[in-house]
Amino acid sequence: MIELKSVSKSFEGRTVLDNINFSFENGKTNLIIGQSGSGKTVLMKCIVGLLTPEQGEVLYDGRDFIHMDKKEKQSLRREMGMIFQSAALFDSLSVLENVMFPLDMFSNATYRERVKRAQFCLDRVNLIDAQNKYPGEISGGMQKRVAIARAIVLQPQYLFCDEPNSGLDPKTSLVIDELIHGITTEYNMTTIINTHDMNSVMGIGESILYIYQGHKEWEGTKDDVFTATNERLNNFIFASDLLRKVKTEENKEKK
């Protein structure tokens, strides 16, 4: 579990995050949603230590990340996995070598053990047959799956995903969502996802934090979304005519 306690962050006197309190649970897909400029990316950076809040606490299973010394932070970062918006694969490395990269950097395992672990992770994302290909030879969806394999190769306790469905078609996005959700449940990780994708919200939003102009505006689950009375949340989630119709039909069925 990752707990935020009264986290605030500002830049040049402008408050970007104001007194954020929230708990991201183990074994669940925790989503941070909000409009562009709402502060969700800054919040993610504060959680992983790329930015330091002016006040508040970021607790990893009770461990205060902000006030750790350099050695303790380095140790904790090895418990983290990251999936970047662009996949961020090395073009000059094969798929297998990309997944092995964190092992090469941080593991004392033998070469054979590193290969075996990387192949296991590729098999978990159904890409073992592509291990000898290069990123430029595979699709965008496959690249995201490689990124997921690389993110879990060190067996992290915490998984961070920055817009993992960015640039993908709806069908491929569903595959990525189901894969992230499945891995989160299987390994009981604390997974935090920054997303604009409403399909992700409705599909895997087991725990949702909605931020509006730096404030925690609402929290709940995908099931709570349809009965939420928060006007800002409704305007954000149900911006399209299609989603408004879905909500109307959902509420009719519940009546």
Residue 180 falls inside a structural domain: no
In terms of domains, do 23 and 112 share one? no
CB 29 within 8 A of CB 181: yes
pTM score: 0.86
Where in the sequence is the domain holding 58, given as residue range(s)? Answer: 1-79+158-173+186-226
Give per-10-residue mean pLDDT for the chain (255 aa): 94 91 95 89 91 93 90 89 84 94 90 94 90 92 90 92 84 88 92 89 91 93 89 81 58 58
In terms of domains, do 218 and 128 share one? no
Nearest partner of 176 among 157, 150, 156, 204, judged by Cα:
204
- What confidence score (pLDDT) does residue 254 get? 57
Distance of alpha carbon 116 from its chain centroid, rounded?
26
In terms of domains, do 65 and 166 share one? yes
Residue 254 falls inside a structural domain: no
Given the structure tokens 């183990």, which residue do they identify?
26
- What confidence score (pLDDT) does residue 201 get? 86
Centre a 10 Å sphere on the Cβ of residue 248 and count the other Cβ atoms it contains: 12
Q: Which two three-digit tokens encode residue 45?
A: 């950076």
Nearest partner of 194 among 43, 22, 28, 66, judged by Cα:
43
CB 49 within 8 A of CB 80: no
Residue 212 falls inside a structural domain: yes
In terms of domains, do 144 and 131 share one? yes
In terms of domains, do 145 and 162 share one? no
Residue 178 falls inside a structural domain: no
In terms of domains, do 124 and 197 share one? no
Residue 50 falls inside a structural domain: yes
- What confidence score (pLDDT) does residue 192 get? 95
- What confidence score (pLDDT) does residue 164 get? 85
Residue 57 falls inside a structural domain: yes
- Residue-wise pLDDT for 51-83, tens only, equals 999 999 999 999 999 988 889 988 898 899 988
In terms of domains, do 33 and 101 share one? no
Question: Looking at the chain, how many residues does it have?
Answer: 255
- What confidence score (pLDDT) does residue 219 get? 94
In terms of domains, do 59 and 168 share one? yes
In terms of domains, do 165 and 51 share one? yes
Q: Which two three-digit tokens encode residue 155?
A: 């067996």
- What confidence score (pLDDT) does residue 99 get? 94
In terms of domains, do 101 and 125 share one? yes
In terms of domains, do 69 and 167 share one? yes
In terms of domains, do 21 and 123 share one? no
